[in-house]
Amino acid sequence: MYQDKLASLKRQLQQLQEGTLQEYQKRMKKLDQQYKERLRNADLFLQLETDQVERNYIKEKKAAVKEFDDKKVELKENLIAELEEKKKMIENEKLTMELTGDSMEVKPIMTRKLRRRPNDPVPIPDKRRKPAPAQLNYLLTDEQIMEDLRTLNKLKSPKPPVSPSSPEHIPSAPMETPSQRYEARIEEGKLYYDKRWYHKSQAIYLESKDNTKISCVISSVGTNEIWVRKTSDSTKMRIYLGQLQRGTFVIRRRSAA
């Protein structure tokens, strides 16, 4: 029995070395199946990851294109509004000059020139830069500007002589008290109004003198003005600091919901 078992083991060892052992072939077939299965799973995972990356790329590309288009439209609208505002300022300046009769021409200053002595050096011409003309920034509406101009014209018109019998000492009607003024300023892209800070994308109520209350959202904060967007029709309005200070418009906080 010992010799038979030893001979059987030697025979199995010889078959294992030759690769013909049945147990060895069975286990090799199983390993080969596991190897092929792992390769197939790896290919499927690679395809899945590739599809996911492709979808994310397409999504990001569409978002970038949409953001670019929105920024382009917003930039165009801001430039158009700025140009319209400059045009209105120029028209107001022209109307002001026509109503007041003032001229923007700078009159030359008369200076006396002394004769140069023979031994005096030749004077060097002054090449200093000429001062730029002052620029007016209007913070009033057209109606307020016209009202102020009419008042100035009335004050500048000559008064008729007062006769001795005219009632000079009759007390005139008391002047109207100035309207309430609010503290309003812009610092670091934020609006400080009536002891509160307001920022971009904040929901507010905009109230006017005729008791109109509009639900708005602050779309941008400039240097001397803010832009608000109505929640009802998404139209934009420009509000100047002067209008907030005089109480032409009043801002109230509201919940974003």
Q: What is the pLDDT of residues 159-188, one digit of tens each?
A: 454 444 444 444 443 343 445 678 888 888
Name the token pair of 59. 């999504």
The strand pairing partners of 185, in sequence order, are 192
Comparing C-alpha atoms, which of 248, 220, 211, 217 is closest to residue 230?
A: 217
To the question of domain 184-253 being in CATH 2.30.30, the answer is: yes
- pTM here is 0.32
Q: How far, in Å, CA of 144 to CA of 64, rounded?
A: 45
Could you identify the residue written with the tokens 């023979």? 118
Q: How far, in Å, CA of 86 to CA of 78, rounded?
A: 12
**How many of the other CB atoms lie within 10 Å of CB of 27?**
11
Cβ atoms of 221 and 190 within 8 Å: the answer is: yes
Question: Quick one: average pLDDT of 84-104?
Answer: 79
How confident is the model over 126-153, as pLDDT tens digits? 445 554 444 444 455 666 677 677 777 6
Name the token pair of 228. 């608000």
pLDDT at res. 241: 84
For the chain, give percent helix, strand, coil, nearest 5. Answer: 45, 15, 40
> Per-residue DSSP letters for 49-103?
HHHHHHHHHHHHHHHHHHHHHHHHHHHHHHHHHHHHHHHHHHHHHHHHHHHH---
**How many of the other CB atoms lie within 10 Å of CB of 99?**
14
Of 31-45, 92-106, 189-203, 216-230, which range is least confident? 92-106
Residue 211 has pLDDT above 80, yes or no: no
- 10-19, 37-46, 140-149, 195-204, range with greatest mean pLDDT: 37-46
The domain ranges of the chain are 1-100, 184-253
Comparing C-alpha atoms, which of 81, 90, 67, 88 is closest to residue 220?
A: 81
User: Which residue would you say has higher pLDDT here, 223 or 82?
Assistant: 82
Q: How far, in Å, CA of 98 to CA of 102, rounded?
A: 7
Q: How far, in Å, CA of 254 to CA of 203, rounded?
A: 6
pLDDT at res. 243: 84
User: Which residue would you say has higher pLDDT here, 212 or 129?
Assistant: 212
Residue 226 has pLDDT above 80, yes or no: yes
How confident is the model over 17-37, as pLDDT tens digits? 887 788 888 888 899 999 999
Provide CB contacts within 8 A for 97, sequence distance 6+: 103, 104
Provide the pLDDT confidence category of residue 62 given band limits of 50, 70 and 90.
very high
Q: How far, in Å, CA of 50 to CA of 41, rounded?
A: 14
